[in-house]
Chain A
Amino acid sequence: MIRQHLLVAAWVLAVTLTTSAQEVDLRVRVIASKLRCPVCQNESVADSQSELSAQMRTLIRDKLAAGETEDQIVRYFVSRYGEWILLEPPRQGVLWFVWLAPAAALLGGAVLVIAYLRRSIRPHPHLTP
């Protein structure tokens, strides 16, 4: 009977530890996926195989273990590397331009094409029958 209880307790502990480790892994990945690998071409710290990215992931894990929040950790990296480290520029101030420029360019291009086509189709006043 005691042996059975011990086995159940060990199983519960193992499941708890595994779940906890998976949660930490997931949190590390979430944070690392927001950061740009400093030595790669447009790759996140989460996806990069570089040594520096691996060390950054370890540091993120340590900071989570020390009780820091996701926001605090991201702000730490921004304070060291600047906003360059963020894979997605923050939606604030002048950086809104980066987010809106492609849509504006697309819209502007569409307007130009439509105007050109309408002008091409419309009968021209200088044409005589």
Chain B
Amino acid sequence: MADSQTVTPRRPLPWAWIGMAAVVIPLLLVLAFGLRRDPRALPSPLVGRMAPAFGLQLFSGGRLTLGELRGRLVVLNFWASWCVPACTDEAPVLQAIWEQYRTKGVTVVGVNIQDHEAPARTFIQRFGLTFPGGMDPRSVIAIDYGVYGVPETYLIDQSGRTVYKYAGAVSVDLLTPVMAPLLETR
């Protein structure tokens, strides 16, 4: 007996398409938002707030506190001697900024973390770093600033407020446009 049934193609359920769109579109939006963000620009809840106070034992002897730097723009850099190539790339940049801007109200401060003193001192000599720097042996300052890894750099304005954070090696082209308006307001 011949089968007289005819099968007509079924149209997909309209609300099934709507359901799929409701899942896929938000997912694409989240992906698009995520891909547009700079992975180096780690969000920090400190930006816009007063920078945590710290006291740093300097390699050169003595102690430096953030309070002493009030009125100056502080470039606070967390680094380690084993951090290659990012820390080796940015060391000459930080020294150049220190030399160019120290008389214009900028102080670069290097905070050495997760390191040993001997290689840290060798690193400083190798790159001829003359800006103040010291060790944070228990990473107390680093954790207080919400540091993830090295290198990370923070800008603290003349009033002691954190205004910028960058994770990764900084460059002159990156820092100077951020510093310029902060120096103009003096």
Chain B interfacial residues counted at CB < 8 A: 27
Q: Within the complex, what minimum Cβ distance (angstroms) separates B44 from chain A?
A: 7
A81 to chain B, nearest CB (A): 5
Cα distance, A96 to B18, chains bound together (Å): 23
Select A129's contact among B5, B43, B142, beta carbons within 8 Å: B5
A59 to B7 CA separation, bound complex (whole angstroms) = 72
Partner of A55, one of B13, B143, B146: B143
CB distance from A44 to the nearest CB of B (A): 15
* A-B interface contact total, Cβ < 8 Å: 63
Does B23 contact A105, Cβ atoms closer than 8 Å?
yes
Contact A82 B148 (CB under 8 A): no
* Docked-complex contact B140 and A59, CB < 8 angstroms: yes
Interface residues in A74-94 by Cβ distance below 8 A to B read 78-82, 84
Complex Cα distance, B47 from A124, in Å, reads 63
Find A127's partner among B7, B23, B43 (CB 8 Å cutoff).
Answer: B7
Number of interface residues of A (CB under 8 A): 25
Are the C-beta atoms of B45 and A81 separated by less than 8 Å? yes
A112 touches B5 (CB 8 A): no
Is the Cβ of B139 less than 8 Å from the Cβ of A52? yes
In the bound assembly, the distance between CA atoms of A124 and B8 in angstroms comes to 9
Q: A5 on the interface (CB 8 Å rule)? A: no
Asked if A71 is at the interface of the complex by the 8 Å CB criterion, the answer is no
Chain B residue, CB-CB nearest to A52:
B139
A52 neighbours in B (Cβ, 8 Å) = 114, 139, 142-143, 149
Interface string of A100-124 (1 = CB under 8 A from B): 0000010010001001100100001
B145 close to A (CB within 8 Å): yes
Q: Are A39 and B148 in contact (CB under 8 A)?
A: yes
Given the known interface contacts A39-B148, A56-B143, the answer about A128 and B4 at a Cβ–Cβ threshold of 8 Å is: yes
7 more CB-based (< 8 A) A-B contacts, given A52-B143, A126-B8: A38-B148, A51-B114, A52-B114, A80-B45, A80-B146, A127-B5, A127-B8
On A, residues with C-beta under 8 Å from B are 38-39, 51-52, 55-56, 58-59, 78-82, 84, 105, 108, 112, 115-116, 119, 124, 126-129
Residues of B within 8 A of A (CB): 4-8, 10, 13, 16, 19, 23, 43-46, 52, 114, 138-140, 142-149
